Amino acid sequence: MKILERTSKEFLMTAPCGINCADCECFLAAGDPSLMAYLVSRGIEQSRLPCPGCREVKGMCPAIGQECETYRCAQKNGVPFCFACEEFPCERLTPAADRANVLPHNLKVYNLCFIQKKGLKQFAENSLDIKKKYFKGKMGIGRGPQAE
148 residues of the chain, pLDDT tens digit each: 455 567 788 999 999 999 999 999 999 999 899 999 999 999 999 999 999 999 999 999 998 989 999 999 999 999 999 999 999 999 999 999 998 888 898 999 999 999 999 999 999 999 999 999 999 988 888 988 887 6
Residue 4 domain flag:
no
- Residue 73 falls inside a structural domain: yes
Radius of gyration, alpha carbons of the chain: 15
> What domain range is 68 assigned to?
9-146
Number of structural domains found in the chain? 1
Rounded distance, CA 24 to CA 51, Å?
Answer: 9
Question: pTM of the entire structure?
Answer: 0.86
Report if residue 80 sits inside a domain. Answer: yes
